[in-house]
Amino acid sequence: MGIIIDTSIFIHSERSNQTISSILSNISTDEEVYISTATVSELLVGVYRANTEKRRII
């Protein structure tokens, strides 16, 4: 099996100034980690719609 990272994890990471890896390190598992194509699409739309250059870079 594995773990799918949802957009909400990326949003939490940005709002809490944490890296994705630090958030995932709190999950004690040896499972593979995946990102769905829907999540990738949502992230790309978010970058496109970001209101500042700083948010686009993140």
More confident residue, 3 or 55: 3
In this prediction, residues 51-57 reach a mean pLDDT of: 71
Per-residue pLDDT at 15: 87
Residues 6+ apart with CB under 8 A from 36: 4, 6
Are the C-beta atoms of 33 and 24 separated by less than 8 Å?
Answer: yes
More confident residue, 56 or 6: 6
How many Cβ atoms from other residues are within 10 Å of residue 50's Cβ? 13
pTM of the model: 0.68
Cα–Cα distance list, 33 to 1, 53, 56 (Å): 9, 29, 24
In tens, the pLDDT along 3-44 reads 899 999 888 888 898 888 888 887 767 888 899 999 999 988
Per-residue pLDDT at 36: 94
